[in-house]
Every structure is written in structure tokens, then in C-alpha cells.
């Protein structure tokens, strides 16, 4: 009887939920309809303005709140035209010999007065396939451009990627910015003392001890009052280890950014204000990020502080503030063995770039002792628009069955560290279709195996039945996708590692026509930095397995993840995205929305404030090297498809290979940056070295194939839980 009553009660509650959903659904449909009309008006206005003689894609993009690529997709006349009659790249068959060397936010942002690990903490006691030897490749042959091939693909229009202008206008892109070099710093970073706060429990840890604070509602004023009634003013950075106070009002906002902006702009204690500037620090003010925001405030002229999330560095995995602090101690100690002037700055990206700058050759006479040149703004803009990062793809029916025999996740350990042993340096050589065709076969092979970035026309083999190999500009909200349809032809940009993979993949070579390209001199600007970080990572991993104290084991494990973040986000920092300025304006008492700066777009609106952001383009950043980021990302994407392992193939005596192309066609269900999800279990050796595939999830029983991201993440969680429970 009780069961029947519970069931009837449950049905009544379900009906209440249904009735509550209906009006919200109607509101949502109206909003979506209104939004669609506004977008249509915007797009039509863009097309109209594009007809003006003075129209420029960059100006329209800023005014419309779109990217340049979006503008060019709406108005192709504003984008450069594709060259024709390009030669076909040689189909190179390269041996698996490894290069022996594998054995081993602004211009002043890096000079931000961010903290080294304070004295109180100090006292606590790859060779990738893109780097294969060129001389192992047979002489290639260049074929003439083929007859046009019918394009196979989706009906929706794809975005158009920019090109280098033809002739002299394009040649004028090929230069280094004058008087802008990446040089070794002659200063030591100053120290910012740290405190670690659990915003859920109020536990606060700093060099003076541990207390539990009353945080009230954990607003900015609550935290500043509680912390600085206890800790000295020289604590300038407060890391939130748990509790995410900026999300406490998230349910009343449609987007997390709005909740974060509301929290950052909340009431302040008397005497405090948002930090406006700090010497040469151009990062003053708040960073409105949905999950890892940064708030900066000051009291008077001398006291400065910032509140930020420790999740920028690693997932604390439930660790208490004392353990998190111990992780920073171990991180500093591991890095100190390689950099005697190490400073832990606010984020892993800033720390990574600062540490890299201290590996620039200092010895007079060294080739790059005077510094690494920064590419022209045009080249940096081209790389920003045409060099994506990790591969994210969900492969759904009908490409794969609706039911699959299993679910397995394998992830490449510390993958980017595998692809840092060689990078392009200096000013690149432009390689047009004509200049590439004029090279000898060996010179063509040398160009393709040099650090390079190519505009190519790609034709998928007519009987291809596996995953796509090269990224292409996506449509709608997708920045990139990976065409796989047999016989399809498309034009894109890709790094040399991916072009070579397409030409010599283990299944069937693809047809590649070179349209344009940039080829750099080989160098190793990241090698010393990466090797030091890998050594710190290995030592911390060993400590996390062998230390006798459980807290220290966890602290070392968290510190090893922080090292990974330093390298991962340090590489991303070289990409130097266009500078985004954010701001907040208080609403008038009548709620009228104030005017925002010219060229800015509205990003959030609360009862008290409006927030905006504006792109100010590429600054004169002496540490901007998108050619390095692009090379690492391209090599990592290529290795996700096919790359050597540390084991030997008994059949050939060469390194065994792993990657998606070494699994059956139709078995790949998803890619997520460095992870592959498959319906069959990959059987690849794992030694714990960078680039090795680690089995992270496994369910050896039939599953329904995910068709949405939400379904994918459910299976991801279940797979990891099953692997841990079953010990697969």
C-alpha cells in the first residue's frame, strides 16, 4: 500500500514539474525566436556594409561581435581568394627511425609582480613522427593538379579560412616585428605571499597557520574582511580550493559568466576598490571566466590582492587547503632544482612562460642569444585563425552502430611534452604553389619535414572508411571538423606533421595539393624548458607513489599535475590570442543600460552592473610565438591518429605504433584532445612516459552509442568508475 501511495505521490510531483516547465519552455521558444530574428538582421547588415568600398572584415567583426572568419563567411568578398593550379605534395614513405635528440596577456605581462614561492613555503621542505629524419625519405615526385573532383559533404556552408595574399602584398607579410625579441630576463620576479581558502568550510591556511573563518555568504566583502582580519597584508593572493563562491547565485542566471560577473562586482569593504593599475602590470582589473575567474582589488595605494581558483593549476580532488598548500611547496621544490630563480606566478601559463624565458641562451655567440624574433602581426593573425588546438569530435550513428560492444577510453600521458623537441625559429620562408613545384623532389620532402604550416587542397580516397585526418573549418558553432567522406575535396590549413600523416598513414595515402605555406628553420627553443619540466614531473610522480605519508603522496600527485599545466598552458600562452579587454559599468538607479565602449560587445547584465569585452587585436608581446604552439598542436593531433610507442614491433623490429588508425574502422566513438574513445579495447603498451596511452575507462559490455555531449560524459564517468571497480 505504501508503495502505491508513494507512486501516486510521485506522479503528482511529476505533473507539477511538467506544469512548471511549460511556461518556461514557451519563454525559451520566444527568446530563441527573437534571437534568431536579431541574428538575421545582424547578418543582413553585415552583408550590406560589406559592399562599401572601405569595408574591412576586422572592423565589421568588432562591431558585430563576431570573429573575422564569421564575417568572411557572411561576406566572402572580404576574404582573399583561393589560388589555383597548385602542385600535389609528394606521397612520402618514411621509415620509423627516431631522431636521437628525443632521448633527452601583454608585452609586460610576464614581468607582472607575481609571487615566487614565498620563503615560508621554501623552508617547508619526444620524438614525434614530425621529427623523423628527412634523409630517410625517398625522392618524391610532384604531379600536376588534378581535374576538379566533385565535392562530397554537408549542405551547410563552412567557414572560409584566410589566405596569404598573392604576389608582393603577401610577400610583405614575411618579416619579423622590428625591435621585438624574446630575450632572457635580467630581473627576478618579486614574491607574492599566498593563502588557501576553502570557501565551503571557511578553513584558511597560510604561512602563519590554519584557522576557520566565518565567511557569511562568501561574497567578496565577506572574504576580504575574514581573510585580512587574520592574515598580514603581505598576503596578496588568495586561492579558493573549494566552494566556488562565484557560483553561489548561478541558478538565477542563464549563463555562469553572468553569475561570476555579479559576484566580482559585489559590494566591497570600506576602503577597497577594484584594482585599476599596478606599475607596468596591464592585467589589472577582473577576469570574468565562467569557472576560473580572477578578481583583483586594492586598498589604498600599497595593499593589493587577488582571488583566484586553484583549479587553474589542478583539480584539487577534495584535498583540504593544507594539502593544497603542500602541493605548491612540492611544486616549487621540484622546479627549484632546475631554476634557482623560480617564481610561482598566479597561473600556470604565466609561470610556464616565465620559466621558458629563463632558458633562452645567455652565452654570447649562441645563435639565439640576442633573442628569438617575433613574427609579423599578419603571420600571427593567420596562425591564430588557421591553427586549432586539440581535436574534439563525437562520432555518432550512422557512422558507427547504434549499439556497440563496449566502451574504452585511452588518454595520452603528458602528451604535449612529447612534441617539443624541435620547433620553427626565425623568419619563415614563404612557399607558394609555384615555388614548391620548382623544388627538387628531395627539397620538397625537406620542406614538408621542416617545421611548417601549409594551405592545402585535400582529396579523401574514394574507398576511405575510417576517421578524418585533417582539420577543416567548421560550420555554425563548430570551429573545426574532420572530413572523412570518401571522395570529398576540401581546402584547409594544417601543420607539417598532419600533412605528412595524411600522405603516409598506415591505411591509404590521401591526395594533398600544396597551395601555399610557411617553412621555418629547425631549432629547439622549447627543448631545454620541456626537458626540465618533464624531469620535475617524473620526480613528483615517483614521490606520489613512494612517499610514506599519505598527505605528501597526494600533495606530490597534485604538484605533478601542476607541472603538466605549466607546460600545457605555457605552450598555449605562446599562441598569443588577440587581447581581450573586459570591463564593468554600474547601472543607473533607473536600471537604464549605459553606453559601453565603441567596438565592445555586451557579455553580461545583472541588477546592478553590465559587463562587456572588446578585442584590441595583437599587442607587441615579446613572447608571442604562435608558430611554436601550432607546431606542437599539429604534432599531437597527428600522433592521436598514428605514432610510435616505446615498445618494439616483433614483426618489423621497429617501434610499434598506436593511435586511432590502428583500431578497426567504425570503432572510434570520440576524440577529446589527447584521448580516444573506442568500442574495442586498445592493446597498447604503457610505460608511463609522455605520449603513452593510458587506459582510463572500460566497460566490456554492450552500450548505446552516445549522440550528444551529455550522453558522452555520462559514459565517460561510468567507464572510469567501472575500470576502477573491476580492475580491468
Q: What is the pLDDT of residue 609?
A: 67
CA angle 284, 289, 292 (to 5 degrees): 95
Strand partners, 239: 196, 308
The arithmetic mean of pLDDT across residues 227-232, rounded, is: 93
| Range 462-467 average pLDDT | 96
Q: What grid cell was written down for 689? A: 612516459
327, 121 Cβ separation under 8 angstroms: no
Name the residue with cell 582571488.
307
Local confidence band at 539 (pLDDT 50, 70, 90 cut-offs): very high
Is 135 a residue whose pLDDT tops 60? no
Query: Which residue shows C-alpha cell 594551405?
Result: 455
- Considering only 60-74, 518-532, 632-646, which range has the smallest mean pLDDT? 60-74
pLDDT-above-70 percentage for the chain: 79
pLDDT score, position 466 = 97
C-alpha to C-alpha distance for 186 and 193, rounded to whole angstroms:
22
- Taking the C-alpha atoms of residue 431 and residue 528, their distance in angstroms, rounded to an integer, is 30
> Helix-strand-coil percent breakdown of the chain, rounded to 5?
35, 20, 45
Residues 688, 692, 693, CA angle at the centre, nearest 5°? Answer: 110
What is residue 113's predicted lDDT score, i.e. its pLDDT? 34
Spatial separation of the C-alpha atoms in residues 517 and 277, rounded to whole Å? 41
Looking at residues 130-157, what average pLDDT do you find?
Answer: 38
Over the stretch 33-79, which tens digit does the pLDDT of each residue have? Answer: 778 778 878 887 887 787 776 677 666 776 787 765 567 667 766 65
* Terminal Cα distance for the chain, rounded: 44
Nearest Cα to Cα of residue 498 among 162, 130, 88: 130
Mean confidence (pLDDT) of the chain: 83
* Cβ atoms of residues 259 and 249 within 8 Å: yes
pLDDT higher than threshold 90 for residue 648: no
Return the SS3 of 214. Answer: coil
Cell numbers for 351, please give them. 609561470
Cell triple for 408: 574504452
Specify whether the CB–CB gap between 522 and 424 falls below 8 A: yes
pLDDT at 480 over 90: yes
Higher pLDDT, 640 or 81: 640
Q: Any idea which of 131-145, 389-403, 592-606, 708-722 has the lowest mean pLDDT?
A: 131-145
With vertex at residue 219, the alpha carbon angle to CA 216 and CA 221, rounded to the nearest 5 degrees, is: 95
Residue 45 carries which DSSP code?
Answer: H
pLDDT: which is higher, 711 or 603: 711
Looking at residue 131, the DSSP 8-state letter turns out to be G
Is residue 96 very low, low, confident or very high in pLDDT (cuts 50, 70, 90)? Answer: very low
Beta bridge partners, 429, equal: 519
Q: Does position 622 have pLDDT exceeding 80, yes or no? A: yes
Residue 252 predicted with pLDDT over 80: yes
pLDDT in tens, 653-680: 788 899 999 999 999 999 999 999 999 9
CA 82/CA 162 separation, integer angstroms: 9
Q: pLDDT by residue (tens digit) across 322-368? A: 999 999 999 999 999 999 999 999 999 999 999 999 999 877 777 88
Give the CA distances from residue 222 to residues 203, 217, 263, in Å, rounded to whole numbers and listed in that order. Answer: 14, 7, 11
- Render pLDDT for 256-312 as a digit per residue (tens, 0 to 9): 888 998 899 889 999 999 886 654 444 457 888 899 999 999 998 889 999 999 999
pLDDT above 80 (res 564): yes
What is the secondary structure of 636-694 as a DSSP string? HHHHHHSEEEEEE-TTTSSEEEESGGGS-TT-EEEEEETEEEESS-------S-TT-EE
Reported residue count of the chain is: 728
Of the listed ranges 256-260, 427-431, 538-542, the one predicted with least confidence: 256-260
Partners of 612 in beta bridges? 583, 602
pLDDT, residue 286, reads 85
Q: What is the pLDDT of residue 29?
A: 75
Distance CA 361, CA 480 (A): 37
Span 226-251, average pLDDT? 94
Q: Which residue has the higher pLDDT, 274 or 140?
A: 274
Q: Are the CB atoms for 348 and 579 separated by under 8 Å? A: no
Amino acid at each position: 500500500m505504501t508503495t502505491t501511495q508513494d507512486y501516486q505521490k510521485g506522479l503528482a510531483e511529476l505533473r507539477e514539474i511538467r506544469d512548471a516547465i511549460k511556461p518556461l519552455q514557451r519563454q525559451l521558444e520566444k527568446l530563441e525566436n527573437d534571437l534568431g530574428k536579431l541574428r538575421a538582421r545582424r547578418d543582413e547588415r553585415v552583408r550590406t556594409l560589406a559592399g562599401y568600398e572601405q569595408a574591412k572584415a576586422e572592423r565589421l567583426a568588432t562591431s558585430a561581435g563576431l570573429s573575422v572568419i564569421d564575417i568572411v563567411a557572411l561576406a566572402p568578398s572580404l576574404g582573399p581568394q583561393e589560388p589555383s593550379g597548385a602542385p600535389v605534395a609528394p606521397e612520402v614513405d618514411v621509415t620509423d627511425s627516431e631522431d636521437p635528440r628525443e632521448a633527452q596577456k601583454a608585452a609586460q605581462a610576464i614581468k607582472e609582480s607575481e609571487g615566487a614561492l614565498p620563503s615560508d613555503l621554501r623552508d617547508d621542505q619526444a620524438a614525434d613522427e614530425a621529427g623523423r629524419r628527412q634523409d630517410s625519405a625517398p625522392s618524391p615526385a610532384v604531379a600536376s593538379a588534378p581535374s576538379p573532383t566533385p565535392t562530397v559533404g554537408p549542405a551547410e556552408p563552412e567557414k572560409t579560412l584566410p589566405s596569404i595574399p598573392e604576389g608582393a602584398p603577401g610577400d610583405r607579410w614575411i618579416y619579423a616585428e622590428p625591435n621585438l625579441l624574446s630575450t632572457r630576463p635580467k630581473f627576478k620576479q618579486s614574491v607574492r605571499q599566498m593563502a588557501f581558502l576553502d570557501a565551503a568550510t571557511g578553513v584558511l591556511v597560510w604561512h602563519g597557520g590554519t584557522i576557520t573563518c566565518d565567511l557569511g555568504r562568501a561574497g567578496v566583502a565577506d572574504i576580504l574582511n575574514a581573510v585580512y582580519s587574520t592574515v598580514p597584508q603581505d598576503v596578496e593572493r588568495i586561492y579558493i580550493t573549494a566552494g566556488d563562491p562565484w557560483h553561489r547565485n548561478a541558478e538565477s542566471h542563464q549563463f555562469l559568466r553572468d553569475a561570476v560577473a555579479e559576484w566580482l562586482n559585489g559590494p566591497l569593504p570600506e576602503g577597497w576598490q577594484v584594482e585599476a593599475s599596478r606599475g607596468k602590470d596591464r592585467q589589472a582589473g577582473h577576469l570574468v571566466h565562467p569557472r576560473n575567474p580572477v578578481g583583483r582589488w586594492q586598498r589604498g595605494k600599497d595593499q593589493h590582492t587577488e582571488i583566484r581558483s586553484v583549479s587553474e593549476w589542478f583539480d584539487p580532488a577534495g584535498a583540504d587547503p593544507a594539502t593544497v598548500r603542500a602541493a605548491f611547496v612540492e611544486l616549487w621544490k621540484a622546479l627549484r632544482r632546475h631554476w634557482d630563480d623560480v617564481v610561482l606566478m598566479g597561473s600556470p601559463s604565466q609561470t610556464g612562460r616565465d620559466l621558458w624565458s629563463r632558458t633562452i641562451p645567455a652565452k654570447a655567440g649562441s645563435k639565439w642569444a640576442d633573442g628569438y624574433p617575433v613574427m609579423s602581426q599578419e603571420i600571427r593573425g593567420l596562425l591564430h585563425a588557421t591553427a586549432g588546438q586539440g581535436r574534439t569530435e563525437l562520432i555518432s550513428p550512422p557512422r558507427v552502430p547504434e549499439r556497440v560492444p563496449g566502451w574504452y577510453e585511452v588518454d595520452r600521458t603528458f602528451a604535449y611534452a612529447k612534441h617539443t623537441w624541435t620547433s620553427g625559429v626565425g623568419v619563415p620562408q614563404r612557399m607558394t604553389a609555384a615555388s614548391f613545384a620548382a623544388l627538387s623532389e628531395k627539397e620538397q620532402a625537406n620542406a614538408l619535414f621542416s617545421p611548417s604550416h601549409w594551405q592545402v587542397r585535400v582529396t579523401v580516397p574514394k574507398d576511405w572508411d575510417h576517421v578524418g585526418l585533417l582539420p577543416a573549418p567548421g560550420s555554425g558553432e563548430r570551429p573545426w571538423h574532420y572530413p572523412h567522406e570518401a571522395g570529398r575535396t576540401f581546402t584547409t590549413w594544417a601543420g607539417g606533421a598532419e600533412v605528412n600523416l595524411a600522405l603516409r598513414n598506415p591505411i591509404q595515402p590521401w591526395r594533398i595539393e600544396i597551395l601555399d605555406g610557411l617553412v621555418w628553420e629547425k631549432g629547439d627553443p622549447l627543448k631545454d624548458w620541456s626537458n626540465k619540466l618533464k624531469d620535475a614531473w617524473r620526480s613528483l610522480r615517483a614521490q606520489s607513489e613512494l612517499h610514506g605519508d599519505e598527505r605528501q603522496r597526494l600533495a606530490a600527485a597534485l604538484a605533478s599535475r601542476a607541472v603538466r599545466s605549466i607546460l600545457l598552458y605555457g605552450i598555449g600562452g605562446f599562441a598569443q590570442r588577440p587581447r581581450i579587454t573586459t570591463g564593468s559599468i554600474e547601472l543607473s538607479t533607473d536600471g537604464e543600460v549605459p553606453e559601453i565602449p565603441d567596438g565592445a560587445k555586451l557579455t553580461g547584465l545583472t541588477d546592478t552592473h553590465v559587463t562587456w569585452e572588446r578585442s584590441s587585436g595583437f599587442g607587441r608581446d615579446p613572447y608571442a610565438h604562435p608558430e611554436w604552439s601550432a607546431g606542437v598542436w599539429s604534432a599531437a593531433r597527428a600522433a592521436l591518429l598514428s605514432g610510435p610507442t616505446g615498445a618494439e614491433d616483433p614483426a618489423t623490429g621497429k617501434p610499434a605504433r598506436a593511435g586511432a588508425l590502428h583500431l578497426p574502422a567504425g570503432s572510434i566513438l570520440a576524440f577529446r584532445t589527447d584521448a580516444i574513445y573506442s568500442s574495442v579495447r586498445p592493446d597498447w603498451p604503457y610505460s608511463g612516459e609522455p605520449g603513452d596511452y593510458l587506459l582510463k575507462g572500460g566497460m566490456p559490455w554492450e552500450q548505446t552509442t552516445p549522440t550528444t555531449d551529455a550522453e558522452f560524459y555520462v559514459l565517460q564517468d561510468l567507464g572510469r568508475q567501472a575500470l576502477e571497480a573491476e580492475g580491468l
